[in-house]
Amino acid sequence: MLYVYGIADNAFEVLRGAGLLNSDVFAVPAGCLAAAASKLAQGGIETTPQGVWRHEQVLRQLMQDHAVLPLRFGTICRDRETLTDRLMEASDDLVRGLGRVRGKVEIALRIVDEREHEAHPVPSETPTVDAIGGGRGTAYLRARRRHHAAEMGREARAERVGKMLSAYIDVGAEDLVCSVAPEGDHAVSVSCLLGRDQLATLQAALERFQSDHPAIGLSWTGPWTPYSFVAPSLFGVGLP
């Protein structure tokens, strides 16, 4: 079995002891591509903080010299031949994906507008008939409409934040992904795909944003490998 970390734009030297459980990370070439893989003794891998950290570090090391499409932690494949076949089948999409992330990294931002929090309470969980009493269909439908309207408002807020940020950060709309925070509060999560040369000016751009919008709280982390900008269909590239 092989554990697969990601897809690089060409082959690379073996990374000795860099992989999970101190395994070597080697290239599995497929045309102009190469998967980064390690031998896996068992049929699966346990999800641990150390394992996830190792997975990320392998990708970061490869990104120093290559364009890399990261795969999710836990991606495994039966053998080299199967992996090569899967890469060749998805070659066109993988090459396009590599072109998109070449020389770029992901920055994650969390934005909270306190004015929104005060004006619009966080919507409750999706209403159920049991929660409001059986047989009260009209009340249930009204509650559903209110919940839907609140959710639509949150999505619109994420879109507004994206437009505001694009005036400060030089990225195209396709390189800015905004979504409401999963915890259901008034935060908006933003992922930016930036060139490495843009990182030097990012801090100043975000400081200008906060100066112009003092009611908006902002924090950011990164750079990260660009998971948010890999098409879902490429995460496993059809690996069995």
Tell me the per-residue pLDDT of 136-195, one tens digit each, with 9 for 90 and over. 667 667 666 665 555 555 556 667 777 778 788 877 778 888 877 655 567 888 888 999
The closest alpha carbon to 107, from 227, 235, 223, belongs to 223
Task: State the pLDDT confidence band at 35, using cuts at 50, 70 and 90.
Answer: very high
How far from chain centre, in Å, is Cα 118?
30
Distance of CA 92 to the CA centre of its chain: 21
133 token code pair: 């009493």
Specify the pLDDT at position 146. 62
For residue 28, pLDDT beyond 90? yes
Least confident of 32-41, 47-56, 214-223: 214-223
Q: How many whole angstroms separate alpha carbon 231 and alpha carbon 190?
A: 17
Per DSSP, the three-state class of 134 is coil
- Could you give all domains of the chain from N- to C-terminal order, each with its CATH number? 2-102 (no CATH), 104-227 (3.30.70)
CA distance 7 to 102: 12
- Mean pLDDT: which of 13-17, 41-45, 123-127 is highest? 13-17
Q: Which residues lie closer than 8 Å to 60 by C-beta, 6 or more apart?
A: 225
Burial of 230 (0-12, 13-18, 19+ CB in 10 A): buried
